[in-house]
Structure 1
Amino acid sequence: MNSVVYTRLTDNLHMLQYRDYETKYFEGLWHIPEGVTYNSFVLETNEGLVVFDTWKRSLGKLYVDEFSKHFDVKDIKYLVTHHMEPDHSGSIPYLLASNPNMIVLGHVLSKGMIESFYQVKPGFNAVKDGETLKLGGFTIKFIHTPWLHWPETIMSYIEEEGALLTCDAFGSYGIPSKAYYDELSPEERTGFTRYMAKYFANIIGHFRDWVVKNVEKLSQLNMKISTILPAHGVLYRGGDVAGVVEKYKRLGVGEPISGKTVIVYSSMYGFVEDIVNLMIEHLEKNNIKPVIHGFTDKKWSDISEIIADVYQAENLIIATATYEAKTFPIMKHVSELIIEKTPVNKNILIIALYGWGGKAGSELEELFTRHGFRNLDVIEFRAGQHQAVWGQLKDRLSKIVRGNG
């Protein structure tokens, strides 16, 4: 597998892409067996090069080596940092070591981060929102897009190329076989639609209100965007530009997939799993096929996939064991991530089982209610009594069944 890919996108615009098959947990948190890419872009002008973002910190030397196969580092006039997270800014000190005369452009907040993160003090120009740079026949417009997903995030629009460079926004997990979405097979396109939704839920979801604000801001700038070039994943051009913007808007507003039902459960000794199996059977008889994620003594579901599924769910069922008179620990952790990362517009059913004392149900109810989730039902009962409460539980499930009908 070739980890480094150079692509000439146009006569003057290039991409240096690192395909990361090694990172298993993005940000040390999100499991990504599908891998991830770091996309750095280079604009070639007759007055020098403009570099947009780099690769992650551990790849700094490799980045300069690969860059030097196609360009002269000494020709870099400007380095634009859209976002200071080290998976994009990590190679900055390596470039500066080879060309200390380049000027770094970014949000005013980025200067302090560069100096702190990398112990360097480059020539730095803070760009204002809407400011333009003219260089070698090209016009670059800088757009402040805060909280996508750090406060200093900006984008760049290269007018003559019709290219919007968006850093994390419109990005995805996954390692595409080709540069552009329209070059992928139908199966791979489906995969990348999922990877984008998963990346959004994991990384951007907490700031979804800012997605709506910033997408609206971009739409009002009357830019003639022909390509969207994110710093992770696949690129978009032509008719796919409007499509990916629409997908992003839907994710930003938290639009659920109609009828999508997700069950997340923990079961220590099989009692919770018994009730989950009864619910699955009942829902499937009513033409609802729930997405199941479980934590048992034999399997653990992938938390990054749970957050991706719950993000777009209309209905969420949380079934948990009680542990030391509290919510089972992994379910408490998953619930807190759901609260932090996903919209509140869900029907939630909480089912809590206990042995010698019930507490988990009320604890989760208070937790979700405190954070704005309003459509909640709670059933709590002693393990082994699932047949006795099944009628009551079916009544609670009827809300899901009616909604799907």
Structure 2
Amino acid sequence: MSAVEIKKGIYWVGAVDWDIREFHGPSYHTTRGTTYNAYLIIDDKITLVDLVDADFVDVMLDNIREIVDPSKIDYVVVNHVEPDHSGAFPTLMKYAKNAKVFCSKNGKDAMLHHYFGDYSYEVVKTGDVIELGKRTIKFVEAPMLHWPDSMFSYVEEESLLFPNDAFGQHLASTGRFDDENDMCTIMEEAKRYYANILMPFSALVVRKIEEIVKMGLKIDMIAPSHGIIWRSSPEKIIEKYMQWGKGETTKKAVIAYDTMWFSTEKMARSIIEGLSSEGVETKLYKISRSDVNDIMTDILDAKAVLVASSTINNTMLPDVAYFLEELVGLRPVKKIGASFGSYGWGKGAVANIEKRIKDAGISIVKEGLQIKYVPTEEDLKACYEFGKEIGKMIE
């Protein structure tokens, strides 16, 4: 992709990665690819905001050369040091030898640990401003959204926010802007992105948006570091982030389970019927056959999370354990939960699942339901009632 002018004299100079299918190791499945967004501001001080993954440094440099010789770059703003955003830094600096590098205090520490070289760093904090000429950049620290070094950069004269990993999506596309893409797809990927990356930091998300509002920053374009640029409806993604951050839910439940000989699955299907009888939308996932990222995306706006497993070796099946480890790490907000499962000669799965559900910050609202071997008709009725009772707790 060639450089794209997003505002007069401001260009997207990033790269589109059509082929990537795993991110953060194997924990995030990027089924629609991604972009690495970098932005070039042409002013008295030529400024590059964010960079790209090291594998795409030549693409970024070629895009910059369409506008200006990289050696003429005066400032480099590193909003976040994670290598998908800063990996191209050492190569860029071979060209922009005299460029000054702006980052947060934690950002400088991380850059020194990643790239070791003797670069000209200037530490900035919330409220600091640098003059580019006709434009200024104001900085807003955003620690733990989603690394300690993270910060936002804001061009006041353009009402343009560069929030790095906030408001992004993993989505490869030929269109750089929201109004050049299918909005349903964009919001689906934005929700998936939030659920699997930013959900543990929901309280910080809300506070940061409230801080930006209090600072009086007018925003008519949001240019994140992954996915599309919000130019027609930036308020839409801000509103969604507030809803997700506050843990607002719909009348919805998610059942995530695994089973050896289908007894736990039979229980799950009867529990769904009970939930549905109370008008609760329910999503059913067999964990061993599902993408955990999809499950987490549905959990984001669900009120109830039910987790189930048959017992093996006095505990849950391995895929359920992996799922719960992810759930504990992501710590969904304001959820209720319960557990159920079948067992043979010994129990264990339900008790261990309940412990991990509590570790994830989810409130257990009903004692776990356990059935020995194969559920009878009477057992399945009990499962139905189990679902119905939980359904009555969901508004």
TM-score normalised by structure 2 residue count? 0.94
Residue 210 of structure 1, aligned match among 204, 222, 235: 204
- Distance in 2, Cα, partners of 1:383 & 1:71: 71
Question: Is the CA contact (8 Å cut-off) linking 1:307 and 1:342 kept in structure 2?
Answer: no
- Distance in 1, Cα, partners of 2:193 & 2:4: 24
Question: Do the aligned partners of residues 136 and 344 (structure 1) sit closer, same or farther apart at CA in structure 2, a change above 3 Å counting?
Answer: closer
- Distance in 2, Cα, partners of 1:242 & 1:62: 31
> How do residues 3-402 of structure 1 correspond to structure 2 at under 5 angstroms?
4-28=1-25, 29-45=27-43, 47-184=44-181, 188-238=182-232, 240-256=233-249, 258-284=250-276, 287-295=279-287, 300-377=289-366, 378-402=368-392
Query: How big is the shift at 1:8?
Result: 0.7
- Distance in 2, Cα, partners of 1:180 & 1:135: 25
Query: How big is the shift at 1:290?
Result: 1.8
SS across alignment from 1:332: helix
**2:306 partner amino acid:** I
Query: How big is the shift at 1:118?
Result: 2.2
Question: Do the aligned partners of residues 157 and 281 (structure 1) sit closer, same or farther apart at CA in structure 2, a change above 3 Å counting?
Answer: same
SS across alignment from 1:236: coil
Question: Is the CA contact (8 Å cut-off) linking 1:365 and 1:376 kept in structure 2?
Answer: no
SS across alignment from 2:32: coil
- Distance in 2, Cα, partners of 1:141 & 1:221: 11
Question: Do the aligned partners of residues 183 and 110 (structure 1) sit closer, same or farther apart at CA in structure 2, a change above 3 Å counting?
Answer: same
Alignment: residue pair count: 393
Higher strand share: 1
Question: Do the aligned partners of residues 282 and 367 (structure 1) sit closer, same or farther apart at CA in structure 2, a change above 3 Å counting?
Answer: closer
Question: Do the aligned partners of residues 76 and 220 (structure 1) sit closer, same or farther apart at CA in structure 2, a change above 3 Å counting?
Answer: same
Deviations 1:206-261 (A, max 9, x none): 111110111111111112211111111111125x12222111111111111x2112
- Distance in 2, Cα, partners of 1:120 & 1:62: 23
Query: How big is the shift at 1:133?
Result: 0.6
Question: Is the CA contact (8 Å cut-off) linking 1:275 and 1:386 kept in structure 2?
Answer: no
Question: Is the CA contact (8 Å cut-off) linking 2:40 and 2:46 kept in structure 1?
Answer: yes
**2:350 partner amino acid:** G
Question: Do the aligned partners of residues 281 and 374 (structure 1) sit closer, same or farther apart at CA in structure 2, a change above 3 Å counting?
Answer: closer
Query: How big is the shift at 1:373?
Result: 2.2
- Distance in 2, Cα, partners of 1:236 & 1:51: 19
**1:66 partner amino acid:** N
Query: How big is the shift at 1:319?
Result: 1.7
Deviations 1:340-364 (A, max 9, x none): 2142422312112212210111111
- Distance in 2, Cα, partners of 1:286 & 1:370: 28
Alignment RMSD, CA only? 1.9
SS across alignment from 2:236: helix
Unaligned runs of 5+ in 1: none
Query: How big is the shift at 1:107?
Result: 0.5
- Distance in 2, Cα, partners of 1:5 & 1:259: 45
- Distance in 2, Cα, partners of 1:177 & 1:62: 15
- Distance in 2, Cα, partners of 1:285 & 1:314: 16
Percent identical pairs in the alignment equals 26
Question: Do the aligned partners of residues 77 and 153 (structure 1) sit closer, same or farther apart at CA in structure 2, a change above 3 Å counting?
Answer: same
Unaligned runs of 5+ in 2: none
SS across alignment from 2:36: strand
